[in-house]
């Protein structure tokens, strides 16, 4: 069985400061991991994905995540937050080897203040 735990339901940062959104996963096999972003009343957009290649994954809009097998973590980071980053972020896992059976975390709402 696969699951993800997003450790923070809400994160607030000031514009220009670093962002850290934490995610731990559980998977019976070699997982694929994703981060999606959802802006209000919008669909989900893929930020980045890990599929057993490089452990440090770079995504869109300056986001990156590091796969740490020993810690079963896949935390999302960004060096400098922008107001437009305010949204809901979902950590997602699949152990099927494809993107067909996704398990979503409960989400982290990122607030960016001036």
Partner 1 sequence: GAVVSQHPSWVICKSGTSVKIECRSLDFQATTMFWYRQFPKQSLMLMATSNEGSKATYEQGVEKDKFLINHASLTLSTLTVTSAHPEDSSFYICSALAYEQYFGPGTRLTVT
- CA torsion, points 81, 82, 86, 87, in degrees to nearest 10? -80
Q: Indicate the residue among 6 and 73 with the shorter CB distance to partner 1.
A: 6
Positions touching partner 1 (CB under 8 A) are 36, 41-46, 49, 90, 99-102, 104-107, 109
For the CB of residue 106, give the shortest distance to partner 1 in the complex, in Å: 5
**CB of 98 vs partner 1, minimal distance in Å:** 8
Q: Alpha-carbon torsion 19, 74, 100, 53, what sign?
A: positive
Shortest spacing between CB 109 and partner 1, in angstroms: 8
Query: Judged by CB, which is closer to partner 1: 43, or 70?
Result: 43
CB–CB of 64/58 below 8 Å?
Answer: yes
Tell me the β-bridge partners of 38.
Answer: 44, 88
Q: Which is nearer to partner 1, 14 or 106 (CB)?
A: 106
Q: How far is the CB of 41 from partner 1 (least distance, A)?
A: 7
Of the two residues 40 and 70, which places its CB atom closer to partner 1 in the complex? 40
């Amino acid at each position: 069985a696969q699951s993800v735990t997003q450790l923070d339901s809400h994160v607030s940062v000031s514009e220009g400061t670093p962002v850290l959104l934490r995610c731990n996963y559980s998977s019976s096999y070699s997982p694929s991991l994703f981060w999606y972003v959802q802006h209000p009343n919008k669909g989900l957009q893929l930020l980045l994905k890990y599929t057993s290649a490089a452990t440090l994954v770079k995504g869109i809009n300056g986001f990156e995540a590091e796969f740490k097998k020993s810690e079963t973590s896949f935390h999302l980071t960004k060096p400098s937050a922008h107001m437009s980053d305010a949204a809901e972020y979902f950590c997602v896992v699949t152990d099927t080897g494809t993107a067909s059976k996704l398990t979503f975390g409960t989400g982290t709402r990122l607030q960016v203040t001036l």
